[in-house]
Amino acid sequence: MQIDEIGKLMEFMKANDLNVLELEEGGSRLLLERHMPTVPASASAVLPQAAAASDALDSAEKSGQLILSPVVGVFYESPAQDAEPFVQVGSVVEVGSPLCIIEAMKLMNEVSSAFDGIVLEIFVENGQRVEYGQPLMRIGGDVSC
Amino acid sequence: MKLKILQILKNKQGYASGEQISRQLGVTRTAVWKTVNSLRKEGYPIDAVPNRGYRLVGEPDILSTAEIRIHLQRAGLDRFVGTVAFKQKTDSTNQMARFADGQQPNQVGLFVAEQQTAGRGRRGRNWHSDHKEGLWFSLLIRPKQMSAEHFSCMTLFAGLCVAEALNDLGINTGIKWPNDLIAIASGRKLGGILTEMILEDSDVRSLIVGIGINVAAKKFPEDLTNLATSIFLESGNHFTRAEVLITILHRFAERFPAYGDFRWLADYRSNCLTLGREIKVSPAFGTPWTGRAIHLNDDGELLVEDANGVRHVVRSGEVSIRGLPGCKM
């Protein structure tokens, strides 16, 4: 399957407001999932210690803001191969904190947080290819004490 | 004052008397003498003859803020380049640029270092730049409200500008997609480019183009001998780093206003050594595979046909070319 075909499928999902699309064709299988940005939760919705307990979050209403990939490329969780990840689930971030790098054609796009909050979820794996606009992380919660 | 005195000495064919200089700049002769001494400490060979004055002997390969500014003025690039910063030693020039303020959207900031202690290749891989025989610099661009996608080909663009500049200097240079500068005669690597983009929401806040060129090196550490080369080794000529820098900036300034029309991709293709060759693609995580690079599309991506005739769009990962030593497989 060519990339532009996948792009078309993504457009199709968007147009028809589909959240999941699974396709099997000639032995290959493609699963597309769309994560809808939700309205920021009320300030007290998530506490830092609750962030790690993602089960609770899944059942509860999804809160927070999505960080979307600004470009097509490869997702890196750390600034260098042997370095610590920028953030993990539960990390407290503020506006401007670096979250990850998306690399494409030797251009390192440093994605920083546009929100204050806690990293509630990371949707992608280190080294995974990501598409333009694909959700990378969810950030939310109340960090004020 | 250093800049002004250096300028006077550079423009003067013979001797410039201390009195002349002091009158011209409205400072004491002692002040002139002190500045000349400090220029000498930086390495400038300046002759001082009683009753005649001072004379700069030759064009030494020295980098300093004053030296760079003089070259920019001479080349008519002083309007295109805004900020100029120079450091003897820094971790990396990209870091220098990252923490700089200001910069107009139609200008670039220039950050140069004599030595980089942590010059970086891709994914933090070490880039041998802890010596004074190379030109290590970064350009800072602060565009107005542009998307990340618009600038995703910046490394390729800079690669084309540098390749053209090296050709201007008489070295037959090609580009290994996306960012390596290869001397065609030896197949070895002359330099490379690494761009960093800092985003604010989805707008580009800063674009930092890091460029490293081996200029004067006569030999390399053993593990690099077959992979790396320098301008000197390829041409036998001693270019100063300032000359190389200005030649690159010339090409960059000339092409930059038309970056957005992407017509330069045609020139990139004709300078790209990867196209039409057998290559190995090594993803960051995953198994390397081989194929033939058949096209570079309008997004700057490489189209590669594998052994089964299946075409893949390659956008990331290491790509090496069969038969080129600087691009080992």
pLDDT band at A3 (very low <50, low <70, confident <90, very high): low
A26 φ, ψ (degrees, to nearest 5): 50, 45
Lowest model confidence (mean pLDDT) among B58-72, B225-239, B315-329: B315-329
Q: Is residue A42 in a domain?
A: no
Inter-residue contact B130 to B117 (CB < 8 Å): yes
| Residue-range definition of the domain harbouring residue A23 | 3-33
B208 shares its domain with B290 = no
ipTM attached to this prediction? 0.81
Q: What is the pLDDT of residue B329?
A: 45
Mean pLDDT, rounded, for B9-22: 90
Mean pLDDT, rounded, for A139-143: 77
B80 shares its domain with B52 = no
| C-alpha–C-alpha distance, residues B23 and B26, integer Å | 5
Q: Which residues of B touch A81 (CB under 8 A)?
A: 123-125
B209 shares its domain with B105 = yes
| Residue-range definition of the domain harbouring residue B295 | 278-327
Note the pLDDT tens digit of each residue in A11-43.
766 666 666 666 666 666 666 666 544 333 333
Contact B178 A106 (CB under 8 A): yes
Lowest model confidence (mean pLDDT) among A78-87, A91-100, A128-137, B293-302: A78-87
A28 shares its domain with A58 = no
Q: Which residues of B touch A113 (CB under 8 A)?
A: none
B146 shares its domain with B260 = yes
CATH number at residue B45: 1.10.10.10
B80 shares its domain with B206 = yes
Note the pLDDT tens digit of each residue in B185-222.
999 999 999 999 998 777 888 999 999 999 999 888 88
DSSP string of B274-318, one letter each residue: STTSEEEEE-SSS--EEEEEEEE-TTSPEEEEETTS-EEEE-SSE
Note the pLDDT tens digit of each residue in A53-91.
444 444 344 678 999 999 899 999 998 878 899 999 999
| Mean per-residue pLDDT over chain B, rounded | 90
B130 shares its domain with B221 = yes
Residue whose entry in the numeric block shows the structure tokens 């674009």: B207
The answer to whether residue A81 neighbours chain B at the CB level (below 8 Å) is yes
- pLDDT of residue B283 exceeding 90, the answer is no
Q: What percent of chain A shows pLDDT beyond 90? A: 41
Q: What is the pLDDT of residue A55?
A: 44
Inter-residue contact B104 to B79 (CB < 8 Å): no
Identify which of A3, A71, A74 has the shortest CB distance to residue B152. Answer: A71
Q: Is residue A103 in a domain?
A: yes
Residue whose entry in the numeric block shows the structure tokens 């994605």: A111
Q: Which residues of A touch B153 (CB under 8 A)?
A: 105, 107
Inter-residue contact B204 to B148 (CB < 8 Å): yes
Q: Which residues of B touch A136 (CB under 8 A)?
A: none
Q: Which residues of B touch A109 (CB under 8 A)?
A: 148, 197, 199
Give chain B's largest Cα–Cα span.
81
A65 shares its domain with A91 = yes
Contact A111 B199 (CB under 8 A): yes
**pTM over 0.95, yes/no:** no
Number of separate domains in chain A: 2
Q: Is residue A145 in a domain?
A: no
Angle at B271 between CA B265 and CA B274, to 5 degrees: 95
> Smallest CA–CA separation between B264 and chain A, in Å?
16
Q: What is the pLDDT of residue A22?
A: 66
The answer to whether residue A110 neighbours chain B at the CB level (below 8 Å) is yes
CATH number at residue A54: 2.40.50.100
Closest chain A CA to residue B211 = A106
Could you give the residue ranges of the DSSP H alpha helices within B121-208? 154-168
- pLDDT of residue A92 exceeding 90, the answer is yes
DSSP string of A52-106, one letter each residue: H-HHHHHHSPP-SEEEE-SSSEEEESSSSTTSPPS--TT-EE-TT-EEEEEEETT
Q: Is residue A124 in a domain?
A: yes
A52 shares its domain with A112 = yes
The answer to whether residue B200 neighbours chain A at the CB level (below 8 Å) is yes
- pLDDT of residue B119 exceeding 70, the answer is no
Q: Which residues of A touch B313 (CB under 8 A)?
A: 2-3
B124 shares its domain with B239 = yes
Q: Is residue A13 in a domain?
A: yes
Q: What is the pLDDT of residue B299?
A: 93
| C-alpha–C-alpha distance, residues B329 and B327, integer Å | 7
3-state secondary structure of A13: helix
CATH number at residue B300: 2.30.30.100
The residue out of B56, B74, B95 marking a domain boundary is B56
Disruptive mutation site among A6, A69, A101, A108 for chain B (greatest number of B CBs within 10 Å)? A108
The residue out of B39, B56, B73 marking a domain boundary is B56
Q: Is residue A52 in a domain?
A: yes
CATH number at residue B155: 3.30.930.10
B92 shares its domain with B229 = yes
Number of separate domains in chain B: 3
Give the Cβ contact number of residue B177 at 10 Å: 27
Identify which of B153, B196, B311 has the shortest CB distance to residue A110. Answer: B196
Residues pairing with A76 in the sheet? A101
What is the distance of C-alpha B46 from the center of its chain? 29
Q: Is residue A130 in a domain?
A: yes
